[in-house]
Chains A and B, each alone.
Chain A
Amino acid sequence: MKILVCISKTPDTTAKIAFTDNNTKFDTGSVQWIINPNDEYYALVRAIELKEADASTVIHLVTVGAPDADAIIRKALALGGDEAIRVNTESQDSFTIASQIAEVAKQGSYDLVFLGKETIDYNGSCVGGMVAELLDLPYISLATKFELNGTTATVTREIEGGEEICEVSLPVVVSCNKGMAEQRIPNMRGIMAARTKPLKVVEPVATEALTSIAEFSLPPAKAGVKLVDADNVAELVRLLREEAKVI
C-alpha cells in the first residue's frame, strides 16, 4: 500500500493578517508557519494509523513550495511520513498546485491520495477535486471515517444534516475532515528520525494559473459588544428582533 499525503504550509491560526504592496500581497513578515491543521490532524494521522495497522504501508508526503517549506515538511516527517517530495515552485493558485501534485502522484502510482478538507489560508477546498480529476480517479470529499478492507475502502462523508457511507475501490483521492483521526504530537524519536528521512526536491511541470488575486481587504471593525443585564434577557430578545432583525 502506497499513500501520498499532501501537506500545505499555512500561517499559524493566531497570525496577524496584514497585506503589503497596495493590499496585493500577504504580509509574511512576522508570520509563524505551521502544517495546515486539516492536512496534519486528519490526513497525515489517518495515513499513519493505516501504516500502524499494516507495516508494509509506505507514506510519502508532497508539498508545493519554495525551500522555506522544508521546515514544515520535516515536521510532517517527524509525525510519521517515510519520505517527502517538495515540488520546487511557489504556488500560484489551486490549479497549479493540483497540477504539480497530480504529476507527483502519477510518477509514484499511489493507492491512496489523502489531503485535508481545505487549507486555513485560502479556504478553497479545491485541490483534492482537481487532483482527482487530473488523475481521473474517484474523489470522496469531507471524509469523516476511512476504513480499509483489502483494496476496497469504506468511507463516511459529511453531507448537509447528516452523513453518507460509501464504498470505493482503490486508487482514490480523499479529502479528510474532523473525525478521521485525533491530533498527535511528534515525539523526540520521530523528530530525530525525520532528520535522516529522504526529502526529494523535484522541479515543477509547466502549468498556467486559472485565477489570480487582484486585491485583499480586511472586514470592517466590529462596533463593540452591547451588554445586556442578565436579569433582563427579554431586552436581548427585543434587540435581536427590533434592532438586529435576526429573529
Chain B
Amino acid sequence: MVLIFIDIAEDGNVKKSSLEALTYGAQLAKQLGVEAQGVVLAPATEDLSALGKYGVSKIHQVKNDSLKYFDAQVYAKVLAQAVEQSGATVVVFSNNTDGKAVAPRLSARLKAGLVAGAVALPETSNGFAVKKSVFSGKAFANVNITTPVKIISLNPNAFKIEEGTGTAEVVELNATVDAPKVKVTAVKKQSGEVPLAEAEIVVSGGRGLKGPENWGILEDLARELHAGLACSRPVADAHWRPHNEHVGQTGGAIAPNLYIAVGISGAIQHLAGVNRSKVIVVINKDAEAPFFKAADYGIVGDLFEVLPKFTEAVKQLK
C-alpha cells in the first residue's frame, strides 16, 4: 500500500503540494498494483472524503489537539504508527517545508530509505529507483531504495495534479501522540501573495530595478499573472526585499512553469535555484547577460519600458 502524507495549512486547507503528492502516490500505487491511502494529522476544514478524487481509497485521520501545529518529532512518531497499522510499504511526502523536516525523521525511525526531491515516478520494473534533481539542478540521479519500506518526497511543481471522481473512506487512526516540545507562538503569513514555492509563475527582480521603490512595476505584472514574487541575492542582501523572496543557491530553489527574470544577470549561483523552471524568460538591457544562455525567451531592452507593456499585454488577454 502507498500511504500519502496530507499536509494541512494553517487555515485548515490541504496544501497544493499535497495534492501533487496525492496524485503522484495514486499513480505509483496503480503502477505497483496496490491501493493508495492518505493520512491527515492536523485539523482540516475540508471534507477529507473528497480527496478520493485524487485516487486515494481511504484517509486515516488522527484527531489530537497536540497535532494542531506541525512538530517534526511528534509527527514522525505518529506517522510511524500509521505506517505500521496500515501496512504501508511506500510513504509519499511533498518535499515542502514540513516534508523536509518530517520525512527524514520517519526515514531514520523506520530505517526506511528516503529519496528527497523526487521529480518523476519510480522505475519499478527492476528494483525501485527514484529520479531526483542533484547538484542544484545541474544533473539528475536515479537513486535505488533497498529497504522494505520506502519513502519518497516529491518536489513541489514536479508533478501535475489530476482529478478523477472517487471519494475516500475517512477512518480514525488511534495513535499515541506526545506533547510537542516545540511551541509555536506566532504564524505570520504574507496575505494576498502567492506562496513562492507553490507558484506556477514567478516574477523575479534583480539589481537592474535600481531600488526597492521601483518594485511596483514588477508587482503589477505579478498581480496580472497571478505570480509569486522573487528576487536575486544582492537585492535581498541590500534589504530591498525580504530574505524569503531570495531564490538561488543559498536562497530558495523553485521550479515554476514560468520564471520571468527582470534585471538579473544570471550568475551561476542564481541559476542553481531556478534552472528547474520549465520556461525561463529574461528581460535585461545587457545583451551579454549570461542569463540569456539559459533562457527560452528573452527581450533585450530597458525593463522600465518593457515591464509596463508586458503587464498591459497580459491584461489584453483577459
List A residues at the B interface (Cβ < 8 Å): 11, 13-14, 17, 19, 37-38, 41-42, 93-95, 98, 117, 120-130, 132-134, 136-142, 144, 154, 157-169, 178-179, 182, 210-219, 222-223, 225-230, 233-234, 236-237, 239-241, 244, 246-247
Asked if B44 lies at the interface with its beta carbon under 8 angstroms from chain A, I say no
Q: Give the nearest-CB partner of A167 in chain B.
A: B183
Cβ-defined contact, B299 with A212, below 8 A: no
Asked if B134 lies at the interface with its beta carbon under 8 angstroms from chain A, I say yes
Q: Report the bound CA distance from A133 to B317 in whole Å.
A: 51
| A134 smallest CB distance to B (angstroms) | 5
- A-B contacts, 28 of them at CB < 8 A, read A13-B268, A17-B138, A41-B250, A95-B108, A95-B114, A120-B249, A120-B272, A122-B134, A123-B117, A125-B100, A125-B104, A129-B105, A130-B104, A133-B73, A133-B109, A141-B101, A162-B189, A166-B185, A167-B185, A178-B243, A210-B111, A211-B113, A212-B146, A218-B140, A226-B298, A234-B309, A234-B316, A247-B317
Cβ-defined contact, B116 with A228, below 8 A: no
Q: Give the nearest-CB partner of A160 in chain B.
A: B195
**Within 8 Å CB of A159, what residues of B?**
10, 97-98, 187
Most A C-beta atoms less than 10 A away, residue of B108, B146, B305: B108
**Within 8 Å CB of B186, what residues of A?**
164-165
Cβ-defined contact, A240 with B258, below 8 A: yes
**Within 8 Å CB of A214, what residues of B?**
127, 129, 141-144
Q: Report the bound CA distance from A219 to B138 in whole Å.
A: 7
| A171 smallest CB distance to B (angstroms) | 10
Asked if B53 lies at the interface with its beta carbon under 8 angstroms from chain A, I say no
Q: Report the bound CA distance from A230 to B198 in whole Å.
A: 30
**Within 8 Å CB of A211, what residues of B?**
113-115, 143-146
Q: Give the nearest-CB partner of A230 in chain B.
A: B301
* Total contacting residues, chain B, CB less than 8 A: 104
Q: Give the nearest-CB partner of B133 in chain A.
A: A123
Asked if B230 lies at the interface with its beta carbon under 8 angstroms from chain A, I say no
**Within 8 Å CB of A161, what residues of B?**
189-190, 193-196, 198
| A212 smallest CB distance to B (angstroms) | 5
| A15 smallest CB distance to B (angstroms) | 8
| B219 smallest CB distance to A (angstroms) | 16
Asked if B244 lies at the interface with its beta carbon under 8 angstroms from chain A, I say yes
Cβ-defined contact, A162 with B187, below 8 A: yes
Q: Report the bound CA distance from A235 to B163 in whole Å.
A: 33
Contact of B97 among A158, A165, A226 (CB under 8 A): A158
Cβ-defined contact, B139 with A218, below 8 A: yes
Cβ-defined contact, B183 with A133, below 8 A: no
**Within 8 Å CB of A233, what residues of B?**
299, 306, 309-310, 313
Q: Report the bound CA distance from A38 to B112 in whole Å.
A: 26
**Which parts of B81-117 form the interface with A (CB within 8 Å)?**
95-98, 100-109, 111-117
**Within 8 Å CB of B10, what residues of A?**
159
Cβ-defined contact, A236 with B299, below 8 A: yes
| A160 smallest CB distance to B (angstroms) | 4
Contact of A247 among B194, B201, B250 (CB under 8 A): B201
**Within 8 Å CB of A246, what residues of B?**
200-201, 257-258, 278-279
List B residues at the A interface (Cβ < 8 Å): 9-10, 15, 17, 69, 71-73, 76, 95-98, 100-109, 111-117, 127, 129, 132-147, 181-190, 193-198, 200-201, 225, 236-237, 243-244, 246, 249-251, 253, 257-258, 268-269, 272, 278-279, 281-282, 292-302, 305-306, 309-310, 313-314, 316-317
Q: Report the bound CA distance from A134 to B193 in whole Å.
A: 38
Q: Give the nearest-CB partner of B140 in chain A.
A: A217
Provided the pairs A17-B139, A122-B134, A179-B243 are in contact, do residues A130 and B188 lie with their beta carbons within 8 angstroms?
no
Cβ-defined contact, B97 with A124, below 8 A: no
| A152 smallest CB distance to B (angstroms) | 10
Cβ-defined contact, A94 with B111, below 8 A: no
Cβ-defined contact, B9 with A160, below 8 A: yes
Most B C-beta atoms less than 10 A away, residue of A122, A136, A160, A216: A160
Contact of B258 among A121, A126, A139, A247 (CB under 8 A): A247
**Within 8 Å CB of B193, what residues of A?**
161
Cβ-defined contact, A244 with B258, below 8 A: yes
Cβ-defined contact, B181 with A138, below 8 A: yes
Cβ-defined contact, B143 with A212, below 8 A: yes
Q: Report the bound CA distance from A227 to B284 in whole Å.
A: 11
Q: Report the bound CA distance from A14 to B103 in whole Å.
A: 30
Cβ-defined contact, A219 with B139, below 8 A: yes
Cβ-defined contact, B183 with A144, below 8 A: no
Q: Report the bound CA distance from A9 to B181 in whole Å.
A: 32
Provided the pairs A123-B117, A212-B146, A233-B306 are in contact, do residues A163 and B297 lie with their beta carbons within 8 angstroms?
no
Q: Report the bound CA distance from A161 to B193 in whole Å.
A: 8
Q: Report the bound CA distance from A128 to B133 in whole Å.
A: 19
